[in-house]
Structure 1
Amino acid sequence: MTAVLRLERVTRVHGSGATEVTALHEVGFAAYAGELVAVMGPSGSGKSTLLTLAGGLDTPTSGVVRVEGTDLAALGQKGRAAMRRTSVGYVFQDFNLIPALTAVENVALPRELDGAGSRSARKDALAALEEVGIADLARRFPDEMSGGQQQRIAIARAIVGERRLILADEPTGALDSETGEDILRLIRSRCDAGAAGVLVTHEARHAAWADRVVFLRDGVVVDESGADGADVLLERSR
């Protein structure tokens, strides 16, 4: 299998002196084409930091983050932004929707910024909204929707177009159980079609959708197992 995402001895330190915090320490991690990896661990273990580095939203203090073999730090800020628009789909915990844009405009934006025509971008956006079950809300603005509906817009934006890597930070947090399962099934299907996926979750039942579970504690990978070991790993964290 080809490693779509690879972290090589990655360390991320925030602050300095008395306020210094090591969010990740020499972490090695990979996600392969066709694979969904769940990342679990207690609060403050470094899960979200791993995702922000993988998505090029932050750079490591030391070590290398590669997406499809490319060192993200070497791309520069503009290059990383371009990669996120074309290859990396990111589902944020707080949605990060643009209030002044409708649902379909929020989803189409990455495609338009990458040079797609507005008609083509809108068609792709409507298809993504259909996949997450809210195509009928395409013309509504985020503040006219519930938290769960906004989360589905964020997920549609993450999967629109051809995404080789999907990063999801607690993507079902604002959704009811049935809708949450539908979203996990959708992410799983994208991975089965050839994308690599990384799912941050604290729920063992959500981790069961993954091929592997990686467990973080205090910024270090402390264990790894198949998805059927998620309950065991979660129990060890308590």
Structure 2
Amino acid sequence: MTQADRPVLHLESVSRVHGHGAAEVHALRGVDLKVHPGELVAVMGPSGSGKSTLLTLAGGLDTPTGGRVLVEGVVLGDLSRKKQAQVRRRAVGYVFQDYNLIPALTAAENIALPRELDGVSARAARREALAALEELGIAELADRFPDDMSGGQQQRVAIARALIGDRRLVLADEPTGALDSTTGETVLSVLRARCDAGAAAMMVTHEARHAAWADRVVFLRDGRMVDETANQTAAGLLVTAATNSVKGGGAE
């Protein structure tokens, strides 16, 4: 397999169990999934189906109970914590639901921090941060602190942080959740452009219209991958039908 053919993200029979005995919860059950360069995959499913768990495992923020997670051919579970952190900083951009911005840093400083931790000069990192802010149409927020921003502004700053540098894998948990429809479309177009330039991305969303930006839609239920489609036109029908027929389950 050439590097061009190798998936950026590969989940091999990945499972995650929380708790023990009567309190045991199967958040994911034997999920197999590959995301290739240039591909945007949308993950959908009812609340509690395992969507956020899938992202945290893919980004190395949690460890699977069973199976393996590979990023660019490297098994995350085989790495030390230090090496895992390096992979996350250099190769993986993560958009959290709660943004995770550092209150004492400005927008530009929050975005530049991962690059500085990897040895990029402060000046060069700031240039990259300003370019990322400009790409998302929020250059005016560069020197503003998180507490001085709206939720939607904080979300766009968090997205800019996930996209800075040569991130080969972008993981986004409801990236448009706090945004109006117009701004949400702008964010999705930026994410789509990154994939078209060669990155891979996986996005959790509840919105069929947002899933239409993806190359594939996978559907989770009770921790299992139960459906997959590459037909964007059918994505909305798939989601509507599945959502109407399935309720609840497992851990988010």
Q: TM-score range by the shorter chain?
A: over 0.9
Task: For residue 2 of structure 1, report the CA deviation from its aligned partner.
Answer: 2.6
1:28-72 Cα offsets, whole Å, 9 max, x none, are 011000000000000000000000000000010010000000000
Q: How many equivalent residue pairs?
A: 238
Task: For residue 78 of structure 1, report the CA deviation from its aligned partner.
Answer: 1.4
Matched, 1:198 2:202: yes
AA aligned to 1:237 is T
Task: For residue 76 of structure 1, report the CA deviation from its aligned partner.
Answer: 2.1
Task: For residue 218 of structure 1, report the CA deviation from its aligned partner.
Answer: 0.3
Contact 1:125 1:157 in 2 (8 A): yes
- Where does residue 84 of structure 1 map in the other structure? 88
What is the RMSD computed on CA atoms of the aligned residues? 0.7
- Where does residue 185 of structure 2 map in the other structure? 181
Structure 2, unpaired ranges of 5+: 245-252
Task: For residue 232 of structure 1, report the CA deviation from its aligned partner.
Answer: 2.0
Contact 1:207 1:230 in 2 (8 A): yes
Matched, 1:48 2:52: yes
TM-score by length of 2: 0.93
Matched, 1:135 2:145: no
Structure 1, unpaired ranges of 5+: none
Secondary structure of 1:3 counterpart? coil
Matched, 1:164 2:187: no
1:79-158 to structure 2, matched below 5 A, reads: 79-158=83-162
1:21-40 to structure 2, matched below 5 A, reads: 21-40=25-44
Task: Pick one of 201, 218, 233 that aligns with 1:228.
Answer: 233
Task: For residue 18 of structure 1, report the CA deviation from its aligned partner.
Answer: 1.5
1:149-171 Cα offsets, whole Å, 9 max, x none, are 00000000000000100100000
Secondary structure of 2:8 counterpart? strand
Contact 2:51 2:220 in 1 (8 A): yes
Tell me the distance in 2 between the aligned counterparts of 1:54 and 1:224: 18
- Where does residue 237 of structure 1 map in the other structure? 243
TM-score by length of 1: 0.98
1:57-112 Cα offsets, whole Å, 9 max, x none, are 00100100000000001112211111111110000011000001000000000000
